[in-house]
Amino acid sequence: MNYKEAIDQLKANKIQKVYLLYGVEIYLRNRFIKQLKNTVVNSDFEELNFYSMEGKDCTLERLIDTCETLPFMGERKLVLVNDFEVFQSKRKYISDEEEKSLIAYIEKIPDTTCLVFYGSTSVDSRKKIVKEIQKHGQAIEFQKLNAKDFKQWIVGRMKVYDKKIASAEIDYFFENVDYIGKNATQSLLDIDNELKKIISFIGDRDSVTLEDLQNIFSSSFQNDIFKLLDAIEKQQISEAMKRLSTMVHQGEPIMKIAATLGNHVRNLLKVKLLLEEGYSTKIIASKIGIHPFVASKCANQARGFTTQELERLLTQFLKMDVAIKSGKMKDYIAIELFILEICK
């Protein structure tokens, strides 16, 4: 069963006593769980009729006891179990005997319980427990959307934000994200974050224009710089090096990366100082001559650094710049050493 069919059944109030949710599209899975919870659990009695457990902390005895407990002032209770070992290839906490006991229990789950296993991106449909769940409940795979459904989803999400987007703009957005395709790297969670950037960019306007999207996506290099600084702020050396390598392999010149990185650090320091003086991001944007959207992102990132740390970053950058321009060091090695130094 797929996501659409599962949602239609929820709308028809056809609730199963056991579900197995799996697949790569975490966003759709979470939406299904939320709707299932709203359907099954009365919010007034949530503490008594809603249970959420992590698989590694969940013994079979505890799981069965929870399922056997009657709901309070309601027809059903909802029990969520995340990453239960029985669906994984390697097991540490669940024995073969316990798996057999769980398989035998599936058909005995009370009608007053809705038990949900989730957390796996894939399952082996040949496993007996999967077949047993399919027999007495539903196994739902949350796959990535096709192109048509994806575009419809974009329209729907924009409506949630009280914004409009026309077909030409949808096509442009579609071409500039990496969602469709076997080797696509983005999920709906990533796409939703992209839409939030657009919402933030257009401000109070109710419609997205092609010019808006062109401005946003043309600054993807700037976004890479933000991500590089995020990794540096968190002292994630391997992630920072990965970001640098990605930009280089995309054809970005080392000196352009270095110059943009330096300008970005300068902007972060300026924003940090102005924030400390009590200025809003809107006023900061006009004072230092950057877009309000960029100023907002800079403000969020600047809060992760102290003023002294940003001053140190700037000092280290200037030393790197001198080393490159004087010929004392090759550009790529210099910027790598710069990242290693400031990640300490």
Rounded to 10 deg, the angle between the 254-276 and 281-288 helix axes is 130
Which regions of the chain carry the CATH code 3.40.50.300?
3-141
The pLDDT value recorded for residue 152 is: 94
Joined tokens for residue 50: 């809603």
Instruction: Give tens-digit pLDDT for 265-286.
Output: 888 899 999 999 999 888 998 8
CATH architecture of the domain covering 3-141: 3-Layer(aba) Sandwich (3.40)
Instruction: Give tens-digit pLDDT for 202-216.
Output: 989 999 999 888 788
The class of domain 147-217 in CATH terms is mainly alpha
Which regions of the chain carry the CATH code 1.20.272.10?
220-342
Q: Are 135 and 101 in contact (CB under 8 A)?
A: no
Which regions of the chain carry the CATH code 1.10.8.60?
147-217
- 78 DSSP β-pair partners: 50, 114
Name the pLDDT band for 338 (thresholds 50, 70, 90). confident
Q: Is 12 exposed, middle or buried (0-12, 13-18, 19+ CB in 10 A)?
A: exposed
C-alpha neighbours within 13 Å on the C-beta side of residue 235: 5
The pLDDT value recorded for residue 219 is: 57
Strand-by-strand arrangement of the 18-22 sheet: 50-54, 77-82, 113-120, 18-22, 138-141
The pLDDT value recorded for residue 180 is: 80
Instruction: Give tens-digit pLDDT for 30-79.
Output: 999 999 999 998 888 888 999 999 888 888 899 999 999 998 888 899 99
Q: What secondary structure does DSSP assign to 103-152, as a single string?
A: HHHHTT--TTEEEEEEEES---TTSHHHHHHHHHSEEEE-PPPPHHHHHH
The class of domain 220-342 in CATH terms is mainly alpha
What does the buried/exposed string (b/e) look like for 48-61 if buried means 16 or more CB atoms within 10 Å of the residue's CB?
A: ebbbebebeebebe
Q: How far apart are CA 216 and CA 119, in angstroms?
A: 33
The four Cα atoms 311, 314, 318, 319 give a dihedral, to 10 degrees, of 70
Q: How far apart are CA 1 and CA 28, in angstroms?
A: 13
